[in-house]
Amino acid sequence: MKLIRSTLLAGTAVLISAGTAAAHTSYMLPSVFNTSEGELVTVQCSFTEDFPTPEIAVKSDDYHVILPDGSRDAFDTQTDLRQLVVLENGLEIDGTYRLTTGVRHGRKSTRALVDGEWVPVFGPDAEVPEEATAVKTAQTETVADVYVSKGAPTWDAISPIGRLAFLPKTHPNEIFSGEAFDVSVSFDGAPLAGHKMSVYRSGGHYEEPQFGIEQMTDDEGEISLTIDEPGVYMLMTRHRADAPEGAETDERGYTTSLTFEVMK
């Protein structure tokens, strides 16, 4: 059975094993994506290698909500557990809400250039090899988002956050099976062309082979996905670049994800 059909703008979509998302990826998963009369949404947030199984709670100082009028607000409640964070927020206003971890800075690491290859330097007491000819430090920076709409979807809450950013061209609460979902991908505001994007599906680990696809952005930094199977999905990508001026490390490893629902 064919699970996903991708309308390609550039490159080739390839079915992959969900296990190929080897590094942990943060995600936001709401209790509801669309509601007509709901007054509350509950969201879980975690790092996972098997979406959406929670493994490590996402500790962020920047959790927030973008309201339907585009203004920023804090979540009503937040409960930190070891494997996940549970957040709640009221849906008093009709329209689309952006629920996000915000920009989160994570662990730091060191690499050394030895015989022409970059090798990791593990552990707090690890020493850089004497034969190393260069050393680089890095830090992770992650953003995880989801959109929730009460009543008719609106656009004011849909905007990029962070250096590695997604901007949906199709409303993320109006994605239907067999119809295109278009997303623009940028870094520092410039289109990220020829860049690998990955898609995972809730429950995909029960399938054989495990569900997943990869697709490259086109010259305009955009992808167009046409998904045949209704369900809950996560779109994610990674990118390594020089850290901004004033950062504590030489580089940053960026990861951004967007959870979305495909409806019948």
Task: Please check whether residue 213 lies inside any domain of the structure.
Answer: yes
Low-confidence ranges of the chain (pLDDT < 50): 1-22
What is the C-alpha to C-alpha distance for residues 59 and 84, in angstroms, rounded to an integer? 9
Task: Please check whether residue 62 lies inside any domain of the structure.
Answer: yes
* Closest among 233, 226, 170 to 27, alpha carbons compared: 233
What is the C-alpha to C-alpha distance for residues 44 and 112, in angstroms, rounded to an integer? 37
Task: Please check whether residue 5 lies inside any domain of the structure.
Answer: no
Q: Could you tell me the residue range of the domain that residue 22 belongs to?
A: 14-262
What is the C-alpha to C-alpha distance for residues 187 and 160, in angstroms, rounded to an integer? 10
pTM: predicted TM-score of the whole model, two decimal places: 0.89
pLDDT digits over 226-239, tens only?
A: 999 999 999 999 99
254, two tokens:
């960026």
Task: Please check whether residue 4 lies inside any domain of the structure.
Answer: no
> SS3 for 73-99, per residue?
ECCCEEEECCCCEEEEEECCCCEEEEE
Task: Please check whether residue 7 lies inside any domain of the structure.
Answer: no
**Beta-bridge partner residues of 140:** 253
What is the C-alpha to C-alpha distance for residues 25 and 49, in angstroms, rounded to an integer? 6
The reported pLDDT for the residue numbered 19 is: 40
**Total residue length of the chain:** 264
* Number of domains present in the structure of the chain: 1
Strand 72-73 and strand 64-66: pairing?
Answer: antiparallel
The reported pLDDT for the residue numbered 23 is: 80
pLDDT digits over 142-181, tens only?
A: 999 999 999 999 999 999 999 999 999 999 999 999 999 9
Strand 190-191 and strand 222-226: pairing?
Answer: unpaired
25, two tokens:
């990826």
The reported pLDDT for the residue numbered 10 is: 35
Task: Please check whether residue 238 lies inside any domain of the structure.
Answer: yes
Find where tokens 């030489």 sit: 250
* Closest among 4, 58, 53 to 26, alpha carbons compared: 58
Task: Please check whether residue 211 lies inside any domain of the structure.
Answer: yes
Task: Please check whether residue 180 lies inside any domain of the structure.
Answer: yes
The reported pLDDT for the residue numbered 99 is: 98
What is the C-alpha to C-alpha distance for residues 145 and 99, in angstroms, rounded to an integer? 6
